[in-house]
Amino acid sequence: MGESVAGRLFSVLDAFEGEGKGGRPPVLRLTDIAARTGLPAPTALRLVRELVAWGGLERGADGGYRLGLRLRVLGAAAPCPRGLLDAALPALRALGARTGGRADLAVLAGPSADGVLCLVGGDRPPPHATAYGKVLLAAPPAELPRHTRHTVVSPGVLAGQLARVRAAGLAVCAEEFRLGEVTVAAPVRGEGGGGTVGALGVTVSTGVPLDRVVAAVRAAVARVRSPAPAP
């Protein structure tokens, strides 16, 4: 990259290219960013702070940085209704900051039993193996591939889980998609308490106090005021 301010900013974002441990999005310390960009540490710190303020980067509770929600929204390929996304953004930012995890909004594209689960950032994880999918699925999908030893692949077991999630208004999914990760999600209701229009939740590392994450998800989803459907 060149020496312009924009070039330096782009070089900081480029430092996050690729995957981190376990195939997850990379989390970098300031020293990592300076080393990958070749920028002096004070310059890297200034640029990182500007990106955090804008929403392009997020600072975790451990001091590491990762790509922020605003970048994921800008690059979103998911068919998430714009009004719903706008309504959920403040809650998503608060949830990520409170838990130190990756907060997401999800919708199900296609038939309710075999639809494609779409997260804000364009990711499409398997519905049956995430808390988001367990909130949104009406019935077990036709195929239930195993992703880890914890993945539920029995239609009967999954059907029971879906019934309990609907009753509780909350789903917790531990290491079913990736080892070392737990997702917690709750339904986003339509205007006036109507049907479920999406799922809002967060992915955290195993070992994070679950009661704190559950409370944070419930508080976040309560803040979302779903827009009225277009006439």
CA distance 145 to 106: 20
pTM of the model: 0.67
Q: Which two tokens stand for residue 199?
A: 């799922």
Which pairing describes strands 57-59 and 65-67: parallel, antiparallel, or unpaired? antiparallel
Contacts 24+ apart (CB under 8 A), 147-153: 147/176, 147/177, 147/178, 148/175, 148/176, 148/177, 148/178, 148/179, 150/174, 150/175, 150/176, 150/179, 151/176, 151/177, 152/128, 152/176, 153/128
Confidence (pLDDT) at 26: 82
User: Could you tell me which of 20, 161, 183, 204 has the C-alpha nearest to residue 117?
Assistant: 183
Three-class DSSP labels, the chain = CCCCHHHHHHHHHHCCCCCCHHHCCCCECHHHHHHHHCCCHHHHHHHHHHHHHHCCEEECCCCCEEECHHHHHHCCCCCCCHHHHHHHHHHHHHHHHHHCCEEEEEEEECCCCCCEEEECCCCCCCHHHCHHHHHHCCCCCCCCCCCCCCCCCCHHHHHHHHHHHHHHCCEEEECCCCCCEEEEEEEEECCCCCCEEEEEEEEEECCCCHHHHHHHHHHHHHHCCCCCCCC
User: Could you tell me which of 201, 141, 144, 207 has the C-alpha nearest to residue 169?
Assistant: 201
Confidence (pLDDT) at 43: 93
Contacts for 166 with CB less than 8 Å, ≥ 6 apart: none
Distance of CA 42 to the CA centre of its chain: 30
Q: Hey, how many other C-beta atoms are within 10 angstroms of the C-beta on 22?
A: 9
Per-residue pLDDT of the chain (231 residues), as tens digits, is: 345 777 888 889 888 876 555 556 688 999 999 999 999 999 999 999 999 888 889 888 788 998 887 776 655 544 455 677 778 888 998 999 899 998 998 887 765 555 567 776 567 788 999 999 999 998 998 889 999 999 999 999 999 999 999 999 999 999 999 999 999 999 998 776 668 888 999 999 999 999 999 999 999 999 887 665 544
Q: How high does pLDDT run on average in the chain?
A: 84
CA distance 201 to 172: 10
Rg over alpha carbons for the chain, rounded to the nearest Å, is 18
